[in-house]
Amino acid sequence: MKVEDKVLDLAKRRGFVWGPSPNIYDGGLAGFYDWGPLGKLLKNKVENVLKKGFMGFGFWEVECPSIMPAKVWEASGHLDGLTDYVTNCNKCGSAYRVDHLMDDVEDTDPDKLKALLKKRKIKCPSCNKGTFDNVEKRNLMMKTGVGLDQEVFLRPETATTTYLLFPELYRFFRTKMPFGVFQIGKAYRNEINPRQGVFRTREFTQAEAQLFILSEQEKKFEKFKEFSSETFPLMKYGSKKTVNVKLGDVVKKKYMKTEAYSYIVYVAYKLVKDMGFDPKKIRIRQHNPNELVHYAKDAWDIEVNTDRYGWFELCGVHDRADYDLKQHSKFSKTKMEVSGEIPKILEIAFGLERTTYALLENSLIDDKKRDWLSFDKGMAPIDVAVFPLMKKDGMDKVAKETFEELDKEFVCVYDSSGSIGRRYRRMDEVGTSFCITIDHDSLKKKDVTIREVSTMKQARVKISNLKTLVRELLSGDLDFKKIK
């Protein structure tokens, strides 16, 4: 079985991801998925890395509504700009995005796209019989209603709702620039024909950080020097090669225009590394300058190499210039200037579902002895599993007491079913960091066996030291090999 198929099998069988949802009703609704118990735990770990990481780099968290009136999306450009070009099979009626059928086409004229579909005689991937002879422009916003008659839309991103807070945020930060905030929450896009599983869905969780900054501050950014010796893998538009470049050299070598923007690209890259992705499978690719979305002055994607989909975007980093605040100032008639200038916005935008699933795939190891998940320290869905060797002679009592104590601080499970070997394999398969076994000696010596997932090595430790030991192991402050 291929790696990508093993991941899908594991995800369904062990409760990471199920769907489309609701599966019991006609196979579910395309573009919507359920995250099972282990999937939700792993997604929480990814979210925690982003939350702690953003806060560590000086961003403050906010939370905004997911529904906004039409005027907000008119101002942001989403009502006109968030569109796809769609065509239907003339035999089976299946709908497809034109760019999914012809990924080398950059034209946005419906008539020209229709003519090109006919010229190339592209067959329908669903029925393999029909062709395509119509092209329509479709908006991806999801519309609903509030009260009796007010038209509103579900947000297609968290970013816009954050920008609306600028006057309040400016006062909160005591009228000092720059300042950074982030938001983690749901967003919705009415994808025409969602494919690629949880990599492209109609409902998804975003983690987006925004740095509000003035023009002069962009050029000479205070935090830039602190990380100037750090390197990251850049692929400039037009190049097929990734080059490791020092942050301090990015502007000099004309990869990016400002210190502030190159700094937040580095921040996004650092967070992806902190999740435990293999650095060899990460690259930062620049968008084609001629294809930038309506708000962007520059854009780079943090991508990882996946077995199923190849290189795939986890995070976009955008220089949004002053587009957003200028538009919302104009439409709301609210002043958003600082010292006569409308501030610029630099953005980091993560998709949590695709990041979580990519991490799951990245972590699967097949070493011929076992299939197991190898997560970075503290990233496994389950931190600790506690086993009594047997359910008698008081071993189960001590095991339950140990579990209850550890469960106060860590994500723990208690398992007394089956042989100890089977229990180890169950935990290995989902990447549980450590397994703790209470045996006959535990009753006499007040110690336990702790087993580490990657090497399967074991050590005897005192129950009284267990919580401190696990904390140090999960944080990376202690190497398992050094346990005495």
Helix ranges, 126-190 (H) = 159-163, 166-172
**pTM value surpassing 0.75:** yes
Tens digits of residue pLDDT in 315-363:
999 999 999 999 999 999 999 999 999 999 999 999 999 999 999 999 9
> For residue range 240-262, what is the model confidence (pLDDT) as tens digits?
999 999 999 999 999 999 999 99
Instruction: Give the DSSP per-residue string, 186-235.
Output: EEE---SS--SGGGS-SEEEEEEEEEEE-HHHHHS-GGGGGGTT-EEEEE
The answer to whether 426 touches 416, Cβ cutoff 8 Å, is no
User: Is it the case that residue 295 has pLDDT exceeding 90?
Assistant: no
The two three-digit tokens of residue 41, written as one number: 């735990």
pLDDT surpasses 90 at 175: yes
pLDDT at 69 over 70: yes
- pLDDT tens digit sequence for 454-467: 999 999 999 999 99
Average pLDDT of the chain? Answer: 94
Helix or strand (DSSP H, E) at 30:
none
- Across the range 184-211, mean pLDDT stands at 93
Taking CA 163 as the corner, what is the angle to CA 315 and CA 224, rounded to the nearest 5 degrees?
A: 55
The per-residue pLDDT for 100 is 83
Token digits for 287? 């968008």
One-letter identity of residue 116: L
Residue 202, Cα to own-chain centre: how many angstroms? 15
Average pLDDT over residues 51-63: 98
CA atoms of 445 and 437, how far apart (whole Å): 14
Per-residue pLDDT tens over the stretch 358-378: 999 999 998 888 889 999 999
pLDDT at position 1 over 80: no
Confidence of residue 150 (pLDDT cuts 50, 70, 90): very high
Domains and CATH numbers, the chain: 37-76+159-361 (3.30.930.10), 371-482 (3.40.50.800)
- Provide the pLDDT confidence category of residue 293 given band limits of 50, 70 and 90: confident
Q: What phi, psi does 239 have (nearest 5°)?
A: -100, 150
pLDDT value of residue 106: 67
Largest separation between any pair of C-alpha atoms in the chain: 82
